[in-house]
């Protein structure tokens, strides 16, 4: 059974810093790896989707990579801003997703 873990659980950084969030999964036979953002009291917003055959995806200041052989995905956030403060979730699956434990990010102004 797929298990998804995220490290660190919480992170606090000064504005402008580049940062990396980590996601590990136990079953390398994943299909999609998707990164989401969740703001307090709100639903999930999809950030990036990496298909199994892909190695990375980029959107603006965000870059997500996928290394199936090592069972890892990373989300890179460049030049962080206070508006980036949220919980970041990674999820592995096809039509149904198994979610990681999340990283609570706080970017200090």
Partner 1 sequence: SAVISQKPSRDICQRGTSLTIQCQVDSQVTMMFWYRQQPGQSLTLIATANQGSEATYESGFVIDKFPISRPNLTFSTLTVSNMSPEDSSIYLCSVGGLAVSDTQYFGPGTRLTVL
Binding mask 9-48 for partner 1 (x = CB under 8 A): ----------------------xx-x-x----xxxxxx--
Tell me if residue 61 falls in helix, strand or coil: coil
CA distance linking residue 61 with residue 93, whole number of Å: 25
Q: Does 62 bind partner 1 (CB under 8 A)?
A: no
Q: Does 51 bind partner 1 (CB under 8 A)?
A: yes
Q: Point out which residues pair with 98 in neighbouring strands.
A: 92
Smallest gap from residue 101 Cβ to partner 1 (A): 5
Q: Which uninterrupted H or E stretch holds 59?
A: strand 56-59
Q: N- to C-terminal Cα distance for the chain?
A: 41
In the complex, the residues that contact partner 1 under the rule CB under 8 A are 31-32, 34, 36, 41-46, 49, 51, 89, 91, 94-102
């Amino acid at each position: 059974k797929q298990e998804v873990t995220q490290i660190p659980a919480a992170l606090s950084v000064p504005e402008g810093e580049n940062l990396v969030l980590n996601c590990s999964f136990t079953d390398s036979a994943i299909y999609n790896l998707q990164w989401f953002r969740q703001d307090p009291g709100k639903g999930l917003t999809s950030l990036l989707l990496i298909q199994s055959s892909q190695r990375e995806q980029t959107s603006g200041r965000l870059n997500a990579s996928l290394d199936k052989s090592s069972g890892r995905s990373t989300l890179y956030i460049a030049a962080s801003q206070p508006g980036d403060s949220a919980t970041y979730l990674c999820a592995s699956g096809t039509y149904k997703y198994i979610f990681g434990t999340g990283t609570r990010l706080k970017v200090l102004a």
